[in-house]
Amino acid sequence: MQKQKDDFHNSPLGGTATGNSIKILAPATIANLVCGFDVLGLALNYPRDEMHLTLNKEPGIRLRHTDIYNLSNVPEQNVAGVSLLELMQELNNNCGFELIINKHIKPGSGLGSSAASAAGSVVAANHLLGNIFSKEDLVRFAMAGEKLASGVKHADNISPCIYGGVTLIRSIFPLDIISLPAPAMFVAVVHPQIEVKTSDAREILRKEVLLKDAIKQWGNIAGLVAGFMKNDYALISRSLEDVIIEPVRSMLIPGFDDVKKRSVEAGALGGGISGSGPSIFMLCEKESTAKKVEKIMKDVYENTGLLYNTYVTTINNEGIVVSSE
Amino acid sequence: MQKQKDDFHNSPLGGTATGNSIKILAPATIANLVCGFDVLGLALNYPRDEMHLTLNKEPGIRLRHTDIYNLSNVPEQNVAGVSLLELMQELNNNCGFELIINKHIKPGSGLGSSAASAAGSVVAANHLLGNIFSKEDLVRFAMAGEKLASGVKHADNISPCIYGGVTLIRSIFPLDIISLPAPAMFVAVVHPQIEVKTSDAREILRKEVLLKDAIKQWGNIAGLVAGFMKNDYALISRSLEDVIIEPVRSMLIPGFDDVKKRSVEAGALGGGISGSGPSIFMLCEKESTAKKVEKIMKDVYENTGLLYNTYVTTINNEGIVVSSE
């Protein structure tokens, strides 16, 4: 937490922030970035949730959705609400918030929908309160939302959502977030509309893994980090391999192997399951390749009878941004 | 292999290299760099083996040692000899080599003694042959020596020995070696003179590890690589943690816990077991800290009754160098 907090505590509602409103855009994110299960994530430029937050003198949180997803409007049962409550516990005053959420990141898509709500609410609140909290504080608050959504406090969606770009969560307790430089990349995404619950996707994993596989995995994540930092697309491509999680979880996603094999043949650097699925992403150096990959994704799912949607986007380096005040 | 090889094949002894002699210095190395078991290694400026190689018209390898270690002079039973033989298999001519080895890196110390012999012999030969092989080829040849020494083809000593600095071996089959930039560091080393056989040190490891530990480990190696590339000593320090190998292997090294705990308290960034032991190394940002750590090492082993030696050195960024021709 930053030093300003004490100054804030001396004024009833954070000084100039009283009664202010803000609109923010919170990006979709890809967690479990191939060999970086539980530790690497990145932010996307599309889709993004819109959130409108007003700081009130009346205590408490009122929230509502203008989207179609029927999420709870009860703060204690809503990831954005829970995250705001977590933040408010560290405020020594009786302010309140009114939050209007217009989600574009479909819940259950594996693209960090809950993280966008959780992170968006606290980033917006922090802005209205005069930026009294550090980014790390905000991640901490938003993890309460992730816990509500998935049962586990994880930060690999929230961190890229707040910091932008590629982030490494070296450790959760204590929190240690590292922003990693990475070259420009295009990202092709397909969301086959089947349900994969995060909790199920966790249970399917073995509690133990072979040491030789773990060694392969940490060789790959080391290569991936080096590839990002050296702008070495070939090294990134060679390192985008997950020998532990993907072989198990990909069984939950019909079409996965086909999409991946054909995408790599078409020139994608590599990719995998976004978060715990069901969305699949492929990283590409060129936009033209990403568009080819998107066609492959359409082709694969056109033949399955599943509902699906696809798009091509880029890495979002800004994280959550203020859209208007 | 580089293109010149074909030209070389057209001349009986590699053109101008006939009858030449060379002296090289091959550095000690630290493999299994904390969280980088089997994939990360670094080269040291001290100690270094001296090797004197002569290219002859007479076929075959003759080798002898001028050191005190009673290693075999039979090429097929000597890591340098075996590595040279591996290289010669890819030469289409009947040249021969005379090799004189003066080892300063004590065999069995865990500081890449066999790697220095293996790598030194083929780097020297390549120089005399007009640099017809790539560094990667040389690693491949020297791995035959490592296999003789430890039963396993591994490259995490050979690679830093040949490339210098910190190297990542992302994969052995196919070979994928990445040089990592790293900030200047001082290295305090203690070699308690007990025997830890590499094969025993391997057998003590469990074949399976907890997924949650593996995740911690790949978070740490990702942090360590990022720390090296960002010149971020604090991040390097936080990432120098091995939750999988060290807790098991350190039991083989009396005094390990004491050395490590007190070194970190004295300001060392972190460290661990060098290779499969018994040497222990500690990385330090400042020379004064490394000297404090060396004192701690002496203090710990002074009380054990074990023979030991200690020194402070730095990272060797050149790898094997030609000393004279």
Q: For residues B36 and B217, what is the distance between their CA atoms, to the nearest angstrom?
A: 8
Please check whether residue B32 touches A, CB under 8 A.
no
Q: Kindly state whether residues A207 and A121 are assigned to the same domain.
A: no
CATH number of the domain where residue A195 is located: 3.30.70.890
> Is the backbone peptide bond immediately before B247 cis, with ω within 30 degrees of 0?
no
Q: Kindly state whether residues B87 and B218 are assigned to the same domain.
A: no
Residue B252 has pLDDT above 60, yes or no: yes
Q: Kindly state whether residues A159 and A247 are assigned to the same domain.
A: no
- Most confidently modeled of B7-11, B91-95, B130-134? B130-134
The total number of structural domains that make up chain A: 2
Q: For residues A134 and A137, what is the distance between their CA atoms, to the nearest angstrom?
A: 5
This complex has an ipTM of 0.92
CB within 8 A of A144, min separation 6: which ones? A82, A83, A85, A86, A118, A153
Low-confidence ranges of chain A (pLDDT < 70): 1-19, 325
Percentage of chain B lying above the pLDDT 90 cut? 85
Q: Kindly state whether residues A110 and A150 are assigned to the same domain.
A: yes
Percentage of chain B lying above the pLDDT 70 cut? 94
Alpha-carbon torsion (A66, A72, A74, A76), positive or negative: negative
Residue B309 has pLDDT above 90, yes or no: yes
For residue B8, the model assigns a pLDDT of 31
3-class SS of residue B313: strand
For the record, the structure tokens of A148 come out as 């509500």
Q: For residues A242 and A70, what is the distance between their CA atoms, to the nearest angstrom?
A: 35
Residue B288 is part of which domain span? 186-314
**Could you give the count of Cα atoms lying within 13 Å of B262 in the half-sphere of its Cβ?**
18
Q: Kindly state whether residues A176 and A192 are assigned to the same domain.
A: no
Q: For residues A150 and B155, what is the distance between their CA atoms, to the nearest angstrom?
A: 41
Interface test with A, best of B203, B225, B237 (most A CBs within 10 A): B225
For residue A93, the model assigns a pLDDT of 77
CATH number of the domain where residue B112 is located: 3.30.230.10
Q: Kindly state whether residues B150 and B223 are assigned to the same domain.
A: no
Residues B28/B117, Cβ–Cβ less than 8 Å: no
For residue B75, the model assigns a pLDDT of 94
Confidence band of B273 (pLDDT split at 50, 70, 90): very high
Confidence band of B14 (pLDDT split at 50, 70, 90): very low
Query: What are the tens digits of pLDDT across the range A72-100?
Result: 999 999 999 999 999 999 987 789 999 99
Alpha-carbon torsion (B220, B225, B230, B233), positive or negative: positive
Chain-chain contact of B218 with A216 (C-beta, under 8 angstroms): no
Residue of B131, B129, B153 lying closest to B142 (CA atoms): B153
Q: Kindly state whether residues A20 and A163 are assigned to the same domain.
A: yes
For residue A325, the model assigns a pLDDT of 60
Q: What is the mean pLDDT of residues B57-66?
A: 93
Strands (E), A224-307: 270-273, 280-284
Q: Kindly state whether residues A97 and A204 are assigned to the same domain.
A: no
Chain-chain contact of A209 with B214 (C-beta, under 8 angstroms): yes
Residue B72 has pLDDT above 60, yes or no: yes
Q: Kindly state whether residues A22 and A159 are assigned to the same domain.
A: yes
For residue B151, the model assigns a pLDDT of 83
Q: Kindly state whether residues A166 and A191 are assigned to the same domain.
A: no
For residue B150, the model assigns a pLDDT of 85
Residue B10 has pLDDT above 60, yes or no: no
Q: Is A167 a catalytic residue?
A: no
Q: What are the CA-CA distances from residue B107 to residues A167, B117, B201, B279 (Å)? A: 42, 10, 15, 11
For residue B325, the model assigns a pLDDT of 60
Buried b / exposed e across B94-119, counting CB within 10 Å, b at 16+?
ebbbbbbbebbbbebbbbbbbbbbbb
Chain-chain contact of A211 with B207 (C-beta, under 8 angstroms): yes
Query: What are the tens digits of pLDDT across the range B160-186?
Result: 999 999 999 999 999 999 999 999 999
For residue B220, the model assigns a pLDDT of 98
- Give the distance from residue B211's alpha carbon to the nearest chain A alpha carbon, in angstroms: 5
Sort residue B108 into left (φ over 0), alpha (ψ -120 to 50) or beta: left
Q: Kindly state whether residues A172 and A210 are assigned to the same domain.
A: no
Residue of B178, B175, B91, B89 lying closest to B132 (CA atoms): B91
For the record, the structure tokens of B7 come out as 């030209």
* Catalytic residue numbers of B, as ranges: 146, 198
Residues B232/A229, Cβ–Cβ less than 8 Å: no
The percent of chain B in helix, strand and coil, each rounded to the nearest 5, is: 40, 25, 35
